[in-house]
Amino acid sequence: MNANLEQIKQEIIAGADELHSSKEVYEFRKKYLDGKTGKIGLLMKEMKNIPNDQKAEYGKGVNELKVWALEFIGGLDEKMKAKELQDRYESERIDISLPAEKTEQGNLHPITLIRNQLIDVFAGMGFEIFEGTEIETDYYNFTALNTPQDHPARDMQDTFYLSPEFLLRTQTSAGQIHVMENKKPPIKILSPGKVFRSDDDATHSPMFTQMEGLVVDKGITLCDLQGMLDVFVSKIYGEGTKTRLRPSYFPFTEPSVEVDCSCFECGGQGCKLCKGTGWIEILGAGVVNKKVLENCGIDSDEYSGLAFGIGIERTAMLKYGINNIKLLFESDVRVLKQLND
């Protein structure tokens, strides 16, 4: 009998080497110690078949084996659980000294940013947005703007013609006519959009973006124009930036002006950006030519208007100090990142 007990003990010791998880230890424990089905449990049940005079010794032996097995397997269980916990710690370990993974963030393109800023500034002064079409007729782009077929001012803008009648608009000024034909004064619109000219060098591109402004009402003068543009330059180029008007020529305005702003780089002292003059040319503008009002059926004795055309790329180039317009169209992320900083 003792030999049998010893055999079970050895079996348990040998079996322990095969165990790899606490779950296996649990099954192993059941196999030997389960009250009804375990090998040691069954030995207890054998008691009734043991002759009376051997019962005491048999019971003692089985009991000793049971106590030993409980402790031995309990120890195994403890060790296995400790190892499993350690493994889990290892596998879930986080190295908090590692640099965080970089997430790239997208941004609006500088042209879109400037466009939105301009819209914000002028919307604050009560302007509404009118978006014209990129394909225009010769009439809206030129003729109605007081630039008939043989007018020399047409040479100021090299045009992409699609047919004798249709063309890619060379200026957002074309939108002025559509608005004035369809709306009675007072008019206060802002018209952003792409324009096209056969022109290509460091500061010109065949496609660029303009923002047209038009105000038509009773008693509108150049003073109103300058007042609005002063707000515009101080919001875009910084507080304290001022404008000055110089005489110029555009067929659709009379008088016409070229608008400069005080150099926001040097504050007017003279620097590389303003070529030592203290002033930077930023846009064309003027009082709407009476002929243009009349072309749209607006009584020019009763109403007057002002108009201006802002080049958005030029505004961005000045603001960000870019000397080549192509940088704004190449979408080189390294460049765009700098412009968004």
Residues of the shown chain interacting with ligand DAH in the complex, contacts defined by CB under 6 A: 171, 173, 212, 250, 253, 284-286, 307-309
Between 196 and 250, name the residue whose CB sits nearer to ligand DAH: 250
Closest separation in Å from C-beta 309 to ligand DAH: 3
Distance (Å, whole) CA 173 – CA 138: 12
Which residue has the CB atom at the shortest distance from ligand DAH?
A: 309
Between 5 and 191, name the residue whose CB sits nearer to ligand DAH: 191
What HEC string does the chain produce?
A: CHHHHHHHHHHHHHHHCCCCCHHHHHHHHHHHHCCCCCHHHHHHHHHHHCCHHHHHHHHHHHHHHHHHHHHHHHHHHHHHHHHHHHHHHHHCCCCCCCCCCCCCCCCCCHHHHHHHHHHHHHHCCCCEECCCCCEEEHHHHCHHHCCCCCCHHHHHCCCCECCCCEEECCCCCHHHHHHHHHCCCCEEEEEEEEEECCCCECCECCEEEEEEEEEEECCCCHHHHHHHHHHHHHHHHCCCCCEEEEEEEECCEEEEEEEEEECCCCCCCCCCCCCCCCEEEEEEEEEECHHHHHHCCCCCCCCEEEEEEEEHHHHHHHHHCCCCHHHHCCCCHHHHHHHHC
Between 42 and 222, name the residue whose CB sits nearer to ligand DAH: 222
Closest separation in Å from C-beta 284 to ligand DAH: 3
Between 25 and 282, name the residue whose CB sits nearer to ligand DAH: 282
Place of tokens 């040319």: 281
Distance (Å, whole) CA 26 – CA 32: 10
Closest separation in Å from C-beta 285 to ligand DAH: 5
Closest separation in Å from C-beta 215 to ligand DAH: 11
Closest separation in Å from C-beta 212 to ligand DAH: 6
Closest separation in Å from C-beta 133 to ligand DAH: 16
Between 62 and 296, name the residue whose CB sits nearer to ligand DAH: 296
Closest separation in Å from C-beta 105 to ligand DAH: 35
What are φ and ψ of residue 234, in 5° steps?
Answer: -75, -30
Residue 166 near residue 135, CB atoms below 8 Å: yes
Closest separation in Å from C-beta 159 to ligand DAH: 12
Between 132 and 284, name the residue whose CB sits nearer to ligand DAH: 284
Between 19 and 253, name the residue whose CB sits nearer to ligand DAH: 253
Between 84 and 281, name the residue whose CB sits nearer to ligand DAH: 281
